[in-house]
């Protein structure tokens, strides 16, 4: 077990109807002027934005809107948000949406309190020291951004989309409002992509070289088993509130780092996927469904017993003590079968990616002899192998 620091002060409000308390919750956190940041029209059409604004009005808090956040959120809107907050004297950003909206809001909150270009935080080396108050009304269970310290933004530089993360304490939201009922109207594909993202956040932590991490292994396995049980429920009945609720809280537990505090984590699959979604503008969860199992096959031999543990404890697969490799492989197969049943892509063709783009994708990742991953350190040829596996996989 490694030494660690862990601090996740987010004030969570979870359950049916909690979005109606948005005003009182903002007030408790000192809000006087709120920027409501959101994506497309669904927050308007569903009436959620009206509810939130009514609640803010009731609490006597003034507010303004900034919509237009796209999946894989762009830097341009962050700059616009920063300028708007400064001009209007906003003290609190309330993200109404999913991971993209929350990440865009995080970047705005950090940028307002910084003299330079917020993109500095994403290029590394500069860490945000202060930020506006950040809250969210979550509308999709996926990124875990509502309780995480991470923020991923896309910026076009020299004609190429750069997708860059920034992890820091300032990114941890001050409060999160989570009503699982808001997710019952999501299209099945978005639900599935979110569920895949949640599982991958745990698996990036689960596959580690750190020894004696029984407790956090147990927490990881608990979250993963929940997802294995809930994905079929929610795919067959999107209105299943209890399944939605378990998945929504799992999204937070998967990525607030209680599952990974004490260990070396991998994140190689996420880094590879970030190139895919930056290049093809595909859904992050869909890209992960293609990359992660391919990565697992390529690194399995590094620690067969850990993969056997995954198969046994997460999918309940009996251990073949004579041939643990068979157990390990059965775990990966079970994962693919689960994701396939949820309608997720499992290879390049299903994702809309092209095998011939692999050299370009790899080149973005490993220029200047950079490597990715920790469980197994991946250089260019290794990442090529993973992507070829992902491209060529057939049922």
* 259-278 residues near a second copy, rule: CB under 8 A: 261-262
> For residues 71 and 173, which CB has a smaller minimum distance to a second copy in the complex?
173
6 makes contact with a second copy (CB under 8 A)? yes
Token code pair at residue 64: 């303004």
319 makes contact with a second copy (CB under 8 A)? no
Longest dimension (CA), the chain: 68
250 makes contact with a second copy (CB under 8 A)? yes
258 makes contact with a second copy (CB under 8 A)? yes
318 makes contact with a second copy (CB under 8 A)? no
Strand partners, 177: 13, 137
- What one-character-per-residue DSSP string does 118-185 give? THHHHHSS-------EEEEEE--SSS-TTT-SEEEEEEEETTEEEEEEEE-GGGS-SEEEE-GGGGTT
Least Å distance between CB 220 and a second copy? Answer: 8
369 makes contact with a second copy (CB under 8 A)? no
> For residues 112 and 259, which CB has a smaller minimum distance to a second copy in the complex?
259
Q: In this chain, which of 49, 253, 362, 390 binds a second copy, going by CB under 8 A?
A: 253
> For residues 214 and 369, which CB has a smaller minimum distance to a second copy in the complex?
214
Q: In this chain, which of 18, 137, 299, 383 binds a second copy, going by CB under 8 A?
A: 18
Residue in this structure with the two tokens 């999501």, named with its chain if needed: 186
Least Å distance between CB 251 and a second copy? Answer: 10
12 makes contact with a second copy (CB under 8 A)? yes
Size of the site for a second copy (CB under 8 A): 45
Cα-to-chain-centroid distance, residue 370: 23
Token code pair at residue 169: 């304490």
DSSP secondary structure letter of residue 232: H
311 makes contact with a second copy (CB under 8 A)? no
* 85-124 residues near a second copy, rule: CB under 8 A: none
225 makes contact with a second copy (CB under 8 A)? yes
Least Å distance between CB 342 and a second copy? Answer: 17
Q: In this chain, which of 127, 156, 157, 215 binds a second copy, going by CB under 8 A?
A: 215
Neighbours of 47 (CB within 10 A): 10
315 makes contact with a second copy (CB under 8 A)? no
Least Å distance between CB 176 and a second copy? Answer: 10
Q: In this chain, which of 218, 232, 352, 359 binds a second copy, going by CB under 8 A?
A: 218
Least Å distance between CB 1 and a second copy? Answer: 4
Task: Name the nearest CA neighbour of 145 among 131, 165, 130, 126.
Answer: 165
Q: Which residues, 6+ apart, have CB-to-CB distance to 278 below 8 Å?
A: 72, 154, 161, 162, 163
208 makes contact with a second copy (CB under 8 A)? no
Task: Name the nearest CA neighbour of 378 among 276, 262, 296.
Answer: 296
Burial class (CB in 10 A: 0-12, 13-18, 19+), 100: buried
5 makes contact with a second copy (CB under 8 A)? yes
Least Å distance between CB 26 and a second copy? Answer: 15
Rg of the chain over all Cα atoms, to the nearest angstrom? 21
Calpha distance 155→167 (Å, rounded)? 17
What 3-state DSSP class applies to 12?
A: strand
CA quadruple 23, 42, 104, 257: dihedral sign: positive
195 makes contact with a second copy (CB under 8 A)? no
Strand partners, 167: 150
> For residues 5 and 115, which CB has a smaller minimum distance to a second copy in the complex?
5
> For residues 104 and 145, which CB has a smaller minimum distance to a second copy in the complex?
145
Calpha distance 84→81 (Å, rounded)? 5
Query: Which residues of this chain interact with a second copy, rule CB under 8 A?
Result: 1-18, 211-223, 225-226, 229-230, 242-243, 245-246, 249-250, 253, 258, 261-262
């Amino acid at each position: 077990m490694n030494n660690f620091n862990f601090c996740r002060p987010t004030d969570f409000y979870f359950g049916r109807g909690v979005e109606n308390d948005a005003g009182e919750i903002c007030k408790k956190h000192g809000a006087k002027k709120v920027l409501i940041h959101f994506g497309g029209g669904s927050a308007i059409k569903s009436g959620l934005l009206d509810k939130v604004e009514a609640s803010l009005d009731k609490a006597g808090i003034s507010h303004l809107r900034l919509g237009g956040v796209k999946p894989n959120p762009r830097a341009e809107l962050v700059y616009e948000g920063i300028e708007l907050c400064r001009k209007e004297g906003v003290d609190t950003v309330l993200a109404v949406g999913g991971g993209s909206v929350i990440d865009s809001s995080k970047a705005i909150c950090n940028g307002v309190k910084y003299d330079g270009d917020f993109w500095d935080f994403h290029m590394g080396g500069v860490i945000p020291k202060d930020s506006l108050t950040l809250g969210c009304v979550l509308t999709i269970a996926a990124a875990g951004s509502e309780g995480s310290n991470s923020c991923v933004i896309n910026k076009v530089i020299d004609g190429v989309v750069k997708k860059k993360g920034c992890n820091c304490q300032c990114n941890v939201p001050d409060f999160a409002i989570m009503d699982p009922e808001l997710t019952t109207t999501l299209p099945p594909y978005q639900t599935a992509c979110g569920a895949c993202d949640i599982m991958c956040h745990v698996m990036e932590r689960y596959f580690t070289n750190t020894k004696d991490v029984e407790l956090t292994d147990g927490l990881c396995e608990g979250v993963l088993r929940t997802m294995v049980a809930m994905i079929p429920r929610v795919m067959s009945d999107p209105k299943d509130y209890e399944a939605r609720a378990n998945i929504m809280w799992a999204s937070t537990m998967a990525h607030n780092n209680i599952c990974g505090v004490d260990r070396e984590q991998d994140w190689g699959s996420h880094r590879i996927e970030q190139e895919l979604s930056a290049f093809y503008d595909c859904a992050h969860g869909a890209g992960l469904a293609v990359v992660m199992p391919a990565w697992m096959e390529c690194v399995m031999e590094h620690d067969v017993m850990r993969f056997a543990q995954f198969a046994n404890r997460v999918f309940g697969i009996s251990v073949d003590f004579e041939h643990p490799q068979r157990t390990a492989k059965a775990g990966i197969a079970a994962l693919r079968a689960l994701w396939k049943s949820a309608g997720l892509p499992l290879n390049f063709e299903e994702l809309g990616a092209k095998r011939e783009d692999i050299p370009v994708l790899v080149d973005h990742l490993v220029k200047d002899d950079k490597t990715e991953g920790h469980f197994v350190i991946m250089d260019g040829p290794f990442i090529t192998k993973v992507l070829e596996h992902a491209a060529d996989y057939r049922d």
